[in-house]
Amino acid sequence: MANRVALVTGGTGGIGTEICKALANMGCRVAASWLAGVDDGETWQQNMQAAGYNFAIPEGNVADFEATAKMVKAVEEKLGPIEILVNCAGMTKDGFLHKMSKEQWDIVIRTDLDSVFNVTRQVINGMRDRNFGRIINISSVNGQKGQIGQTNYSAAKAGMHGFTMALAQESARKGITVNTVSPGYIATNMVAAMGEKIIKDMIAQIPVGRLGTPEEIARVVTFLAADESGFITGANIAINGGMHMG
């Protein structure tokens, strides 16, 4: 993995940050995408630099195809061809379907699923030309089992693994692996903001009796991204503490 170029979409988030750090620790040159008005990429970059990490921070809306083309071009001009792609960008807009607006549906599908096509489409030809690539899609346990109030999110995350399996078959003979990682409930700032009662209820559903950590997700991502992981493709690796076993 030494010196390979990696792009992590949603890289400034809780899970994304740990993935960026883990890839950098393995010797990769890492770019973390972020979205103005939603994230504070500059402050994040400064904090990472203080911790000893030098990440590129391309800004761009991964839900927009043309914006992703510009973002990928900027990364490749700065760091070189993208060899590892981690599709980690995502969001939720929860609500029961009978109350869900078209806007709630559309924004989650665009951000969580369309983005996977938008970004991957920009890098797949280069990976095919070079006969090497690692694509890792960060899905969710709720894409495997469903979740009340998340028809939009569950559909997007389930669709992500369908994308993984199809592209894995298309790309296998070109040295490109495509895999899904499906985290369960992870201890991020977003989860912490839900409050002690909700977190307690979450933990009650998890056989190992705790939330997962972003570092545990990152560990699996670096394993899949390694040159030595070329025989693993089309897989969906669940990291949920035994909450759901498929």
> What size, in residues, is the chain?
246
> How far, CA to CA in Å, does 131 sit from each of 14, 121, 175?
32, 16, 5
- From the list 34, 105, 132, 153, the catalytic residue is 153
Report d(CA 221, CA 70) in Å as an integer: 25
Separation of CA 180 from chain center? 9
176 touches 136 (CB < 8 A): no
Residue 53 a catalytic site member: no
Residue 161 token pair: 């693994």
Amino acid found at 220: V
201 touches 159 (CB < 8 A): no
Q: What's the 3-state SS for 187-232?
A: CCHHHHCCCHHHHHHHHHCCCCCCCECHHHHHHHHHHHHCHHHCCC
Torsion (CA) 64, 117, 119, 147 in degrees, nearest 10? 80
Burial grade of 21 (CB within 10 A; 0-12, 13-18, 19 or more): buried
Report d(CA 58, CA 181) in Å as an integer: 24
Q: Tell me which residue of 74, 103, 89 sits closest to 137, measured CA to CA.
A: 89
Which residues are marked as active site? Answer: 153
